[in-house]
Amino acid sequence: MITEKDISKTVGRTIKSPIRVGGLRDFKINQVSFLDFFKPFFESLEDDHYLVRGKQIVFLKTIFSEDAESIEKFHKSYFEGTVSTDVLTRWIERLNSDQKQKFDQLSMITRQRSIASFEVEIWDDTFFVERILHKGFEQDVDDFRVWKRVFTQAPSQLVENDLFFELLKKMAGLVKEIHPDIRKIQITSHFMRTISRETIKGENAPEGIHEDGAQYIMSALVINRQNIEGAESQIYEKTNSADKELVYKKILDPGEFIFQADTGEEFTFGNDLWHYVTPIAPIDVLKPGIRDIIGFDMDILE
Ligand SMILES: [Fe+2]
């Protein structure tokens, strides 16, 4: 595995916060069996309407800047799905044909997802995994992502099995290597498909360079890349000048992952890491381009 020590050598200064770039093989998990088992499931993920709703609001606010305040009033309720598109009709109707075409384009689903959360308890170096069911998903961050999003729970046959539990234990093991005394970790997994079409880029990180609001993350364990270019995973360090400097980048192949400290680590380690993934576009424009990943948030509970 590549660690922050290797990256420090490359960038010529010390990155203190933990980073691990590796693959299922580093976990001694059979990559072929793992990918074969999880790949088909991504065909049946649910559409992420939150992403579309957010983009629609931003677009309307840009076009009707004089009404930005009135539009913003509906932002949260529309985003959370407690009101329908009807609240935006009065602006949508006033779009000219060019603008309407753009609006329809950004209304197309480019992300699908489902979620599953777990607690991993550690007793004398033995790991015990238990699934927990959350009602909603809220991120501890400063933008719209703090609003409540309810994502479909991943089916039990997908995530309640030895293969997935083994992965969760290995991930908890990564955190335990850094914090040997921990007893309990919460891990939330996000199964995500990003879709791009000829004129529509697929964005897995529409918020730009960001943090996820967890102590540690596996920003992506890649399951599938199909007919795409792009999706370069990037790690940034926020420096004293408040700029974010790129310290590592890699296009992850299926079976590969990046694990890194995410939020609050600047107080523990003295380095503030952020991350991003570049958009995808299809290579053959006649077909959709697809990237499937599992992302993980990890928080130490005890
Ligand atoms: Fe992220």
Domain boundaries, the chain: 2-47+110-300, 49-106
In the reported structure, the alpha carbon of residue 293 is separated from the centroid of ligand 1 by a whole-number distance in angstroms of 12
In the reported structure, the alpha carbon of residue 96 is separated from the centroid of ligand 1 by a whole-number distance in angstroms of 35
Terminal C-alpha separation, the chain: 27
pLDDT value of residue 137: 60
In the reported structure, the alpha carbon of residue 167 is separated from the centroid of ligand 1 by a whole-number distance in angstroms of 19
* Domain 2-47+110-300 part of CATH 2.102.10.10: no
In the reported structure, the alpha carbon of residue 59 is separated from the centroid of ligand 1 by a whole-number distance in angstroms of 23
pTM over 0.75: yes
**Residues by chain with Cβ below 5 Å of ion ligand 1:** 212
In the reported structure, the alpha carbon of residue 275 is separated from the centroid of ligand 1 by a whole-number distance in angstroms of 6
pLDDT digits (tens, 9 = 90+) for 78-115: 988 899 999 999 999 999 999 999 999 889 888 899 99
Ranges of residues in the chain with a pLDDT under 50 are none
Q: CB–CB of 231/251 below 8 Å? A: yes
